[in-house]
Amino acid sequence: MSSITRQKVMRHLDIVGQIQPALHQATHAPSPDMIDNAHFRAYTRSPHDVGGEPDVSITWEEKEEEVWEHNTFVTCEVLAWRGVWNAEERRRRQNVEVGQTQYLGLPYYGRWLLTAAKILVDKQFVTATELQDKVAEVRKRYE
């Protein structure tokens, strides 16, 4: 097994950034002869699959859940009880399908909220316009 170097890590992150950019860029699917081992690893790695990745140590801290986090959890559970989604669909959409930028950039329950909104629109429980109007209405209440 080859040793991990800064150069290899940077190359890997560059490839992943091209595959899962913050803003979608239309690309053509590469032909099999264009995929080397580094590209195969980047294509098959999901953002939450960080096992074996180099990282720095973090300090573990106990944290009280904030009200919005608790409300998000309850809302998502109610959506599941109502049959809008199941736990596996929620996990897949909030951990795998969001892409690395949103996975690393949003707080844990922020990904839950984003996923709930996408599911409700994708499954046509609400329209994107209805959702935007409701968000604007709530923002006005708190300004």
The set of catalytic residues is 108
Give me the residue label for tokens 């170097």: 5
Report the C-alpha gap between 75 and 93 in whole angstroms.
Answer: 16
Report the C-alpha gap between 118 and 7 in whole angstroms.
Answer: 37
Question: Counting every residue, how long is the chain?
Answer: 143
Please, where are the H alpha helices in 45-127?
67-81, 87-91, 99-105, 108-122
End-to-end CA distance of the chain: 56
Half-sphere exposure of 64 (CA within 13 A, CB side): 2
Contact 39, 30 (CB under 8 A): yes
